[in-house]
Amino acid sequence: MQSAGNTFVEAYGRILGTQLVCCWLAVALSFMPPRMLRRCFPPMVTGLTIFLIGAGLIGTGLKVGHPCCHPVCLQEGGMQTAVMCTMHYGVGG
């Protein structure tokens, strides 16, 4: 943030402002009738959004929370290596 010319206080204020706007947006959406919400956010859009969030978290989960501690897994990394290590060495290394 400092490279963009913002100080810590300005950046923190922008984060708080964004949270405030999103909070009131959620409150406003809670009063909308379900029929209108389904028209704005059809099941295909919400399902695809949830899928993409989950797909994005898979890589992070395998890098950070992978239970295999074998040196080969730690050196090479990657999803395929993590899955193969788990299959070969078992969970927990």
**How far is C-alpha 68 from the geometric centre of its chain's CA atoms?**
22
Q: Could you give the C-alpha distances from 72 to 39, 59, 64, 80, 85, in angstroms and in order?
A: 50, 18, 15, 12, 8
Is residue 93 within 8 Å of residue 69, measured between CB atoms?
A: yes
pTM recorded for the entire structure = 0.47
75: left (phi over 0), alpha (psi -120 to 50) or beta: alpha
pLDDT digits (tens, 9 = 90+) for 23-79: 999 999 999 999 999 998 899 999 999 999 888 887 777 666 655 555 555 555 555
> What's the pLDDT tens digit per position in 41-51?
899 999 999 99
Residue 83 has pLDDT above 80, yes or no: no
